[in-house]
Each structure stands twice: as structure tokens, then as C-alpha cells.
Amino acid sequence: MNFVHINNVAIEILDYPISYVELIGTLFGLISVYFASRSNILTWSTGVINELFLFLLFFQIQLYADMFLQVYFFIVTIYGWYSWKFDVGIIKISTLNTSIRIYLIGLIVFGTLLMGYFFKNIHTYFPSYFKIQASFPFSDSFVLVGSMVATVLLAKKKMETWFLWMAIDLVCVFIYNKKEIYFLSLEYLIFLGLAVYGLYNWRRQLSK
């Protein structure tokens, strides 16, 4: 059986079978977010492993927006890794001004509607590659667009990244629970707690 197939079970917890692909993607996601909350550069290297395995997982459960999001994550991960490594003395924790916040909210709303319509119909656009209709196309698209913005804000060390991650984590808990990938849903509940911790920790560093 294929190692990265969701039916290849690694462990079973409380009668819930956890595949290798879900287990590895989830664990490295937790590690990556923990390092991000500590403003530690290791968030980027551990994030690469998380992105690879979640790409494979989301394709198999028809969360196509989430699948494409992992490609974007990978690109921004390389950018963030470079920025934190070579611009460590330049990039400091900071906040956005009000006008940029309003612009980003509008961008996320527009992007969610646009991408939601696209993924809702992706099986008709590319039937050879996507044989099954996308699940939760608009909610999943919010995760896609919101995460794209939040990752850039993280790379730039903008405080608002954590508020956006909190909203994304709540939506992910709902989606993954509905798709019955409970281990990943639990991970995003933990992510929510880590986002709160990240906000607290970054505020404390900013005050110094």
C-alpha cells in the first residue's frame, strides 16, 4: 500500500485511524507554529515538511483550495526563511496602520468569493484531474486566501498575522471535523491556542 495514501494507517487513537500522511503533516505543523510563536527561524524548515504531506492529504480528501495553498506556503516559506536568516537585524515585530488593515480585509473578502467560485466549479474546468466536486469551496477558499495574507504578515513580523491565524484556525477546525479528519481538526484547535500565545509573546517582545 502506498505510504502516503490516507488508508495507510500509522496509529489508532480512540478508534480513530490516523494515516502516516496525516500524522506527519500534523506533527510538523505543530512544531512549525510553535517555533513561529517563539519567533524562531526553525518555523520555516519544519514548515516545508508540513506543507509536503498536507498537499498529499488535501488532494485525497478533495480540499483543493487547501491543496494549492500548500504550494503557496512552500514559496513563501523559502522567502520567509531567507528574510529571517539574512535580515534578522532589519525585520522587527511591528503593526500595520488602519488603512492597510482595511485594504487587507477587502482583499481577503474579494479573494475568498473569487476563489470560492473557481473551486466550486474546478471539477468542470479540469475533469481529468479533479473527478470529484470540491468540498466546502468557499470556506476552504477563505483558508486559502487568509493564509496567503497571514503568511506574508508572518514573514514581515506583523502583529496582525496572529489575529488572522485565529480566524483561519476556527474555520479549519470546522472543515476538518466535517471531513472526519479529526486529528488534523484537533491540531488546528491547538493552533488556535498557539496563535493566542504567539500574539501574547510578540506583544511582549514589541513592548521591549
Contact between 70 and 49 (Cβ < 8 Å): no
**Residue 154 located in a structural domain:** yes
**Residue 162 located in a structural domain:** yes
Say yes or no to pLDDT of 74 above 60.
yes
Say yes or no to pLDDT of 200 above 60.
yes
**Residue 85 located in a structural domain:** yes
**Residue 17 located in a structural domain:** yes
The structure's pTM equals 0.79
Averaged pLDDT for residues 97-119: 96
Tell me the pLDDT tens digit for each residue of 19-69.
Answer: 899 889 989 988 998 898 887 889 889 999 999 999 999 888 888 888 888
**Residue 44 located in a structural domain:** yes
- Helices within 61-181 (DSSP H only): 64-86, 98-120, 122-125, 137-155, 160-178
Averaged pLDDT for residues 7-13: 83
Q: What is the pLDDT of residue 40?
A: 87
Beta bridge partners of 12: 17
Q: What is the pLDDT of residue 87?
A: 63
Q: What is the pLDDT of residue 156?
A: 86
**Residue 125 located in a structural domain:** yes
What confidence category does residue 146 fall into, taking pLDDT thresholds of 50, 70 and 90? very high
**Residue 3 located in a structural domain:** no
Query: The domain containing residue 67 runs over which residues?
Result: 9-207
Say yes or no to pLDDT of 108 above 90.
yes
Say yes or no to pLDDT of 118 above 70.
yes
Q: How far is Cα 111 from Cα 132, in angstroms, rounded to an integer?
A: 23
Number of domains in the chain: 1
Say yes or no to pLDDT of 89 above 80.
no
**Residue 2 located in a structural domain:** no
Phi and psi for 21 in degrees, rounded to 5?
-65, -40
- The three cell numbers of residue 113 are 468569493
